[in-house]
Amino acid sequence: MNREQFVSILENISNARVGLLGDFCVDIYWHADMTKSELSRETPHYPLPVVRERVYPGAGGNAANNIAALNPAKLYAVGLYGDDWRGMLLRDVLRKCGIDDRWFVNTPDRFTNAYCKPMRKGISAVEYEDPRIDFAADTPIDEKTENAVLANLSEMAKQIDVLCVSDQFLFGIVTDRVRAKIIELAKNGLTVVVDSRYRIAEYTNCILKPNEVECWRAVYGNEGYLSATREAFETAAVQLAKKNSAHVLCTLGAQGSVFTDGESLDRIPAVQVHGPVDICGAGDTFLSAFSSCLAGGACPADAAFAAAHAGAVTVQKIGITGTATREEMISLFDDQ
């Protein structure tokens, strides 16, 4: 692909209308300066004196934020938030990112999911992360919430070119009925791209975007992936496409990705980067760029090629679940 073609793919995102249904949460970083810590009078502990807080949209929120960074014509989202301080933070950070939350559903009796990351630093430059504090809903959504999600999804589907699904939590927004509606939309002609951490094998007739381990587990179960070769992962992607009447875009980390309809197979190379990398959130970036490029009219292989550049931009952003802009992707393309 030449530069003119690459730039055209990204420019066409300006005409794209993208919808995202997903599990939204907040990523919170608490930076503690241990030089300010004093032994507690009441307990034999040194507290973590937080001197800085950073808040980002996480999980499906990170995917939505990455779509927003690419400046599509429209971006809509369906998600959940609770009546808690994390819910207030989530809605605030989404609005600051320019994400339309009109179709979010309030769930007053459930947690707003959050990943809270205490970061310690002392006299030296060394900083490390304490065990993460997770706020995670541990029960399924109720029927009233489910009905509201289905209604909002139906309305959003009328307004979009591509539906992006970020199914990340065991007890999240995607129930059996919601998944059935997603599949129905795909069967009726809407382009649907699905990223699912635990249930990719349950989606049919969509474009599935597993990583190599998720793809392997969907086809063969939990054994054997640690010693699997690239060729074996490619075979798993083909088998998943056949089994689910789907197209599969399987990411392979530093080995790039493959796209298959169960018959033909396209290999998309990875973009090489140098220096330290942080892969946190890179899958969300890839999903978002791929879906946005499809919505702009790109073919799957070209959309995956562009998405590889988006992922390569974000892995170079250390300590944050970063985004990739069109300008950053073009700059990286020019450097290759």
Among the ranges given (21-25, 160-164, 314-318), the one the predictor scored with the smallest mean pLDDT: 314-318
Query: Would you state the pLDDT for residue 283?
Result: 86
pLDDT digits (tens, 9 = 90+) for 14-50: 999 999 999 999 999 999 999 999 999 999 999 999 9
Q: No. of H helices and E strands in the chain?
A: 10, 15
Whether pLDDT at 304 is above 90: yes
The pTM of the whole model exceeds 0.95: no
pLDDT number for residue 203: 98
Q: Helix or strand or coil: residue 33?
A: strand
pLDDT-based confidence at residue 97 (cuts at 50, 70, 90): confident
What does the pLDDT average to over 243-256?
94
Which domains are present in the chain?
A: 3-26+57-335 (3.40.1190.20)
pLDDT band at 278 (very low <50, low <70, confident <90, very high): confident
Beta carbons of 192 and 48 less than 8 angstroms apart: no
pLDDT of 322 reads 79
Q: Give the model confidence (pLDDT) of 120-140 as tens digits.
A: 999 999 998 999 999 999 999
Please tell me the distance from the alpha carbon of residue 102 to that of residue 74, in angstroms, as a whole number. 13
Name the helix (H) or strand (E) containing 114: strand 114-121
Q: What is the pLDDT of residue 218?
A: 96
pLDDT bin (cut points 50, 70, 90) of residue 277 is confident
Mean pLDDT value across the chain: 93
pLDDT, tens digit (0-9, with 9 covering 90-100), for 179-213:
999 999 999 999 999 999 999 999 999 999 999 99
The reported pLDDT for the residue numbered 124 is 93
- 275: pLDDT strictly greater than 90: no
- The average pLDDT across 154-163 equals 96
CA distance 144 to 107: 10
| Torsion angle in degrees (nearest 10) through CA of 230, 232, 233, 237 | 130
